[in-house]
Amino acid sequence: MKVTYHGQSCFILEHDGHRIIIDPFLSGNDKAVIKPDDVEVSYVLLTHGHADHVLDAEPIARKNNATIIAPNELATYYGTKGLNVHPLHIGGKHDFPFGRVKLTLAFHGSGIEEGNAFRYVGPPVGFLITMGGKTVYHAGDTGLFGDMKTVIGALNDIDVALLPIGDNFTMGPEDALIAAEWVGAKHVIPMHYNTFPLINQDADQFVRELDAKGIKGIKLNIGDSAEF
């Protein structure tokens, strides 16, 4: 399985001709190296409704006739726009042509800006994605919580964990180091950092601290890939 980082919390996962994108935020990120029109995928996975995770979901889904996989309320929102959707909810899982998706808890918020207000679109989530015989845990936007150890880590054999380190809105590096230990992933890739000054972090230092704990950390620059 190939994992490519596209800034903030956006990744493209691919294996055996299948391609999916998670939390597409490209047109609003001046550090992104691709634009929505460059993306070719069959599925768009969304962890929650904030703009830095869903900004390009609709144009990418329309261009590719792709299916949006998201928590029920968020999926329903996009369904009203005439898009293909598959709603899931926390604890639920479903098999797709590319593999399996299961929704996990995440502690954050979720709303889509409409004028001067937010429209509530259900709870935030994380994803456990099984693809090509590998399992990826995309934590979404979240703080540290105990189920990372007692449920997510204990009940799953995770090959790659994608963990936010930006602080302020999500876990910072200190809590993300604990999360990395708790989920027990073979590899950890930091995300949700350095998109704007408020969440600037030293990802190289984070990876060094992972390595000191015996955890394989991988810093991906925007546009870089790793294969598992």
177-196: per-residue pLDDT in tens?
A: 999 999 999 999 999 999 99
Q: What is the pLDDT of residue 90?
A: 98
Return the C-alpha torsion angle 9, 182, 143, 190, nearest 10.
-30
Provide the pLDDT for residue 198: 98
CA 69/CA 54 separation, integer angstroms: 12
Distance between CA 39 and CA 128 in Å, rounded?
22
Q: What is the pLDDT of residue 117?
A: 86
* Nearest-5° Cα angle at 3, 156 to 70: 65
DSSP for 60-116 reads: HHHHHTPEEEEEHHHHHHHHTTT-EEEEE-TT-EEEETTEEEEEEE--S--EEEETT
Average pLDDT, whole number, for the chain?
Answer: 97
- The pLDDT, as a whole number, for residue 196 is 96
How far apart, in whole angstroms, are the C-alpha atoms of residue 117 and residue 159? 39
Q: Which pLDDT value is given to residue 192? A: 98
Where do the domains of the chain lie? 2-219
- Average the pLDDT over 70-76 and give the result: 98
Per-residue pLDDT averaged across 7-11, rounded? 98
pLDDT tens by residue, 110-137:
999 888 888 999 999 999 999 999 999 9
* pLDDT tens, residue by residue, 18-55: 999 999 999 999 999 999 999 999 999 999 999 999 99
Can you name the CATH fold of 2-219? Metallo-beta-lactamase; Chain A (3.60.15)
Please give the average per-residue pLDDT across 190-208, as a whole number: 98
